[in-house]
Every structure is written in C-alpha cells, then in structure tokens.
C-alpha cells in the first residue's frame, strides 16, 4: 500500500492526523527539492506536531521535468529517515512529514498559485532554486508564468498587494535558502529592479521595500535524497508501505535566519521547537563556522585522503590516524585561528566536534574525489582565509594546514590525455582533475625542483590573490611535506605512516 492520507487513517500511523491535515496554508515554497523537504519542512512539521506553528506548505514546482503527480497520490506525505551520529551515538529515526498541503505546477497551475496571495494566513515564502535562480533577467510578470524565480515572486507579491490594498499586515517574510552570501539582500535588489523594469507603481515598490521582510539565511544539512533501491526496499518492508518520496538526511541540521524584527519572530514561530533553527540579527559567525571548519577541513583533507587510498569520507574517518589528522586540524589549528570578539573558541570547538560526527556518518557515501571538484578555487575561498586568521595570531607555520596544502599540490600534479583532460594518479589509480586552474598548475609543474615549484605556485596571485610565500615558514613547511609525500609514493609506502609521525 502506498503512503497516503487513506493509509494514515486506516493504520492510525500518525498522531492527530486529522488536525494536521486541516491546518491552514501559511507557507509558499518555491522548490520541491530534498534540501527543503529535509530541513525547512522538517522544522515546520515538527512544530505542527507540537501545536505551535499550525500551518502547512504550498509547494511551487517550477521545473518542467516530471510533475506533481506523486505528491498528489501521496497527499503531500513523505517519509523522512534521519540517520547519523550524535555525540558518538548512532541515530536512526523515522518520521512521516505532513507539512505539505499540495504541490502546484507553475507551468500548468499558475493562477492557482496566484490565488494563494489572497489567503490572509499566508505569511512566509521560502525558496531553493539553486544559486542561478537568484539572478536578474528581463521578465514579464504578467506572463503565465513569468520565466524566472524573481519574476514569479514579484508577480505573487504584486497580486497580494492588490488584493489587500497595500496593507502593512499583508507583507510577507521571505527567506531564500540558496547557497550564496546575503541571498535575501540580493533577491530583494533583483525584485525591486524587476518591479521598476515592469513599470510597477511607486506605492507598490514602497510596500515591497517596507512591509516585506527579506531575511538572509544559511542552511546546512546533508540530504542525499532518494535511497539506493536496495535500501529503499528494506525500509519499505520495515515500514509496511511504499513511498516514492522517501528521503534520508543526516542528524545535524542548521537553518540560520538573519532578522531581529518582531514580525519575523512571530511569523517563524516554528523556530522554537528545534535548536537547529537560529534567528539572529547577524548570521556571519554561522557562515564562517561552516565555511572555515566544515568546508575548509573537507578541502584540506580531500587530496590527502585520495593519496592515502580512501574512497569515501566515512572510510577515512574509520582510520585512527586520519581521524586524528582531521580532529587536530579543526580543534588545534582552524578553531583557534577562527576566534574573534563575536566567536569564542568554545563555540568553534563545539561546532568542530559536530563536524567530526557528521564526517563519521556511516549512512552517507561521500566520495573524496567529488570534494576535489574545483579544488583550487575551494582552497582559495576556504583556506587562504584560514591561513590569514592563523598568521594574525601566530608566527609559525601551521603543521596540518601546510600538509593539506602539500597534498593538494601532489594531487593536482597532472598529465594531459588525448581528450585534453588533465589527469592525476595515486595508488595505481588514475583520476580526472576537474579544476579550472589545472592547466595553469600543469604549467607550473614543468619545474621539477620541489622547493622552486612550491615557491612559484605560492607566489602566483592568479591562484591566490596574494603571495603566500609572505606567510612566515609556510613555503618551507609545504615544500618539506610535499617532498616527503613524493618520497613515500616512490617507495610505495602509505602516507598514513608519514602522518603518524607528525
């Protein structure tokens, strides 16, 4: 039997299901993706079940691929498996999410979507349309539907403005979750520019600017999406029903929303049910924690992990030597460097320990080679600032960061194949280097002397925006590590032996 209202009622599988299904629609959500369902809708569902938010979600499907049929067949219900490690303990939870009331196709049901603007209980708009979604393009908001996400959003807000005669109470709380810095500020700027391009009146634009709250946000949760077929079959046999919308996520969750406005706090009442929702006047420190510790540690570890012969993150974290490297990298080098007046070492350490649990998650297959995608730009964005932070407080080279940097240089040592691709090899296996800077680094590698090569790469401002040789002792530390990595490779010795001696 397929998961649906009928199944829920027949099996009494969801407590207070009748009340949940009758809740009013309060949220318009652009996107059917697993991140929104595994994070934002998770919080809303949790609050509804505690009789706090008491509102459901209307989802707008904007893509042409597929349809909303499965959501309709399952009455918006889906199973959410939460699996991971928390404080060293395995977590395996199952919930039935009942937050979605209906899914509407922008292509076929645009008028139905606009009708939602007339709902006085509608309070919140959420989006995840990928980073490309928050870009300006010439768009006609009278189209059925407008082509872009900002165009659709503007059309909805303009409809709401007209229905409620521009009342202050009709303004919305708008929270984009796209992974760009200051996502709401950029979205608001685009929407206002698009309103002017469509010659909308100044009274509407004033309402748009003053009575609607665009809130920057940061989301962080790994939601791989559909389970592998074998795992899905096992889960369905255990649950006793089939579910085409079933998703799995890790335990950790964060939705940091930037606002201190009273209307926003009231509209987002679901925020009180889970510590994973954070409302703060400034979310910079949450972005820094994620970028410098989680993403930075991933990037400083990925090349080294491949050179050690590990395929997945969880596999590497099961090795005591590699685990110790990642632990010490985050706790002893990145966390102390990251601290400032608004971020304490204890906060950074607490976050780092959660990251270690996430990396060890036995349910998630995260391949190191995938993490090496655009390796050079990730090192620039994530770890050059880590170096700057470190040297602002120290005058010695960071031992583990420099090892991670040396492993990056060894990983990206390449040959060019007949297809014009740059390839590297480790442990007898060849891999493709997917990096926009591969050609530039390949040119640098023509210099065979390791210290000279390292110096030349580190001074290349096209790579780093600065001369990294100016960090005292860093050049020699990287060169020394790289020479040892090369020597161990030549002797067919595993790098774990070298790492154990550090």
Tokens of 348: 């950074």
Mean pLDDT of 26-45: 97
Count of residues for the chain? 502
pLDDT at 361: 95
For residue range 154-205, what is the model confidence (pLDDT) as tens digits? 999 999 999 999 999 999 999 999 999 999 999 999 999 999 999 999 999 9
Report whether pLDDT(65) > 60.
Answer: no
pLDDT at 492: 85
For residue range 435-487, what is the model confidence (pLDDT) as tens digits? 999 999 999 888 668 999 999 999 999 999 999 999 999 999 999 999 999 99
What are phi and psi for residue 119, nearest 5 degrees? -80, 115
415 strand-pairing partners? 423
Tokens of 410: 């060894």
Tokens of 501: 């001696």
Using a pLDDT cut of 90, give the percent of the chain over it: 92
For residue range 104-121, what is the model confidence (pLDDT) as tens digits? 999 999 999 999 999 999
90 strand-pairing partners? 85
Report whether pLDDT(133) > 90.
Answer: no
pLDDT at 94: 97
Taking the C-alpha atoms of residue 7 and residue 15, their distance in angstroms, rounded to an integer, is: 13
Q: Work out the pLDDT band at 62, boundaries 50, 70, 90.
A: confident
Alpha helices in 116-173 (DSSP H): 149-163
1-41-133 Cα angle (round to 5): 115
Cβ atoms of residues 62 and 147 within 8 Å: no
Tokens of 223: 């939601």
- Residue whose tokens read 């303990």: 89
Strand order in the sheet with 415-416: 415-416, 422-426, 429-432
Residue 142 burial class via C-beta count within 10 angstroms: exposed 0-12, middle 13-18, buried 19 and up: exposed
Using a pLDDT cut of 70, give the percent of the chain over it: 98
23-27-32 Cα angle (round to 5): 110
Tokens of 74: 């399952």
Residue 76, Ramachandran bin (φ over 0: left; ψ between -120 and 50: alpha; else beta) = left
DSSP string, 8-27: HHHHT-STTHHHHHTPPEEE
Mean pLDDT of 280-307: 97
> Any idea which of 22-31, 262-271, 398-407, 490-499 has the lowest mean pLDDT?
490-499
Taking the C-alpha atoms of residue 420 and residue 422, their distance in angstroms, rounded to an integer, is: 7
In this structure, how many other beta carbons lie within 10 angstroms of the beta carbon of residue 210? 10
For residue range 380-438, what is the model confidence (pLDDT) as tens digits? 999 999 999 999 999 999 999 999 999 999 999 999 999 999 999 999 999 999 999 99
Taking the C-alpha atoms of residue 314 and residue 336, their distance in angstroms, rounded to an integer, is: 25
Taking the C-alpha atoms of residue 58 and residue 44, their distance in angstroms, rounded to an integer, is: 12
For residue range 343-389, what is the model confidence (pLDDT) as tens digits? 999 999 999 999 999 999 999 999 999 999 999 999 999 999 999 99
What are phi and psi for residue 28, nearest 5 degrees? -105, 125
What are phi and psi for residue 120, nearest 5 degrees? -65, -20
2 vs 445, more confident: 2
> Any idea which of 59-68, 217-226, 410-419 has the lowest mean pLDDT?
59-68
Report whether pLDDT(66) > 60.
Answer: no
Cβ atoms of residues 214 and 68 within 8 Å: no
* CA 406 distance to own-chain centroid: 27
Mean pLDDT of 225-235: 89
> Any idea which of 23-37, 135-149, 335-349, 440-454 has the lowest mean pLDDT?
440-454
The dihedral through the CA atoms of 361, 365, 367, 370 has a sign that is: negative
Cβ atoms of residues 25 and 60 within 8 Å: no
Of the candidates 152, 151, 214, 153, the one whose C-alpha atom is nearest the C-alpha of residue 184 is: 214
Of the candidates 108, 134, 104, the one whose C-alpha atom is nearest the C-alpha of residue 116 is: 104
In this structure, how many other beta carbons lie within 10 angstroms of the beta carbon of residue 12? 8
Strand, helix or coil at 412?
coil
Tokens of 179: 């992974």
Q: Work out the pLDDT band at 135, boundaries 50, 70, 90.
A: very high
pLDDT at 20: 97
Strand, helix or coil at 140?
coil
* CA 142 distance to own-chain centroid: 33
């Amino acid at each position: 039997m397929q998961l649906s209202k009928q199944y829920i009622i027949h099996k009494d599988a969801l407590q207070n299901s009748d009340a949940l299904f009758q809740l009013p629609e309060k949220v318009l959500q652009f996107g059917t993706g697993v991140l929104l369902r595994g994070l934002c809708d998770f919080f809303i569902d949790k609050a509804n079940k505690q009789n706090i938010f008491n509102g459901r979600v209307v989802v707008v499907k904007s893509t042409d691929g597929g349809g909303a049929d499965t959501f309709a067949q399952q009455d918006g219900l889906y199973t959410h498996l939460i699996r991971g490690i928390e404080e060293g303990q395995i977590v395996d939870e199952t919930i039935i999410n009942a937050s979605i009331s209906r899914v509407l196709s922008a292509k076929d049901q645009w008028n139905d979507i606009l009708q939602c603007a007339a709902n006085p209980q509608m309070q919140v708009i959420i989006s995840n349309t990928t980073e490309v979604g928050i870009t300006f393009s010439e768009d006609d908001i009278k189209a059925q539907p407008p082509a872009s996400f900002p165009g659709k959003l503007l059309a909805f807000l303009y409809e709401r403005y007209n229905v409620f005669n521009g009342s202050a109470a009709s303004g919305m709380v708008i929270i984009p979750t796209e992974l760009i810095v200051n996502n709401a500020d950029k979205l608001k700027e685009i929407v206002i520019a698009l309103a002017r391009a469509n010659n909308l009146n100044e009274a509407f634009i004033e309402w748009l600017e003053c009575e609607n709250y665009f809130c920057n946000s940061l989301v962080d949760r790994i939601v791989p999406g559909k389970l592998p077929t074998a795992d899905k079959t096992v889960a369905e046999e255990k649950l006793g029903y089939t579910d085409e919308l079933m998703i799995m996520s890790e335990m950790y969750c964060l939705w940091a929303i930037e606002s201190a406005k009273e209307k926003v706090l009231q509209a987002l009442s679901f925020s009180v049910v889970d510590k994973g929702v954070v409302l703060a006047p400034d979310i910079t420190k949450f972005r820094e924690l994620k970028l410098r510790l989680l993403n930075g540690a991933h990037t400083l570890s990925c090349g080294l992990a491949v050179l050690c012969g590990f395929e997945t993150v969880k596999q590497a974290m099961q090795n005591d030597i590699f685990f110790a490297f990642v632990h010490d990298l985050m706790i002893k080098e990145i966390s102390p460097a990251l601290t400032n007046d608004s971020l304490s070492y204890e906060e950074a350490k607490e976050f780092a320990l959660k990251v270690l649990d996430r990396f060890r998650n036995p349910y998630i297959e995260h391949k190191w080679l995938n993490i090496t995608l655009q390796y050079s730009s990730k090192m620039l964005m994530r770890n050059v600032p880590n170096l700057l932070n470190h040297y602002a407080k120290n005058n010695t080279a960071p031992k583990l960061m420099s090892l991670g940097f040396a492993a990056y240089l060894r990983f990206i040592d390449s040959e060019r194949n007949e297809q014009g691709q740059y390839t590297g090899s480790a442990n007898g296996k060849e891999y493709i280097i997917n990096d926009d800077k591969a050609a530039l680094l390949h040119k640098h590698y023509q210099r065979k002397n390791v210290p000279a090569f390292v110096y030349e790469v580190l001074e290349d401002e096209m790579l780093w925006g600065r001369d990294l040789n100016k960090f005292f002792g860093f050049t020699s530390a990287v060169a020394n590590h790289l020479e040892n990595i090369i020597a161990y490779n030549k002797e067919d010795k595993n790098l774990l032996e070298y790492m154990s001696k550090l």
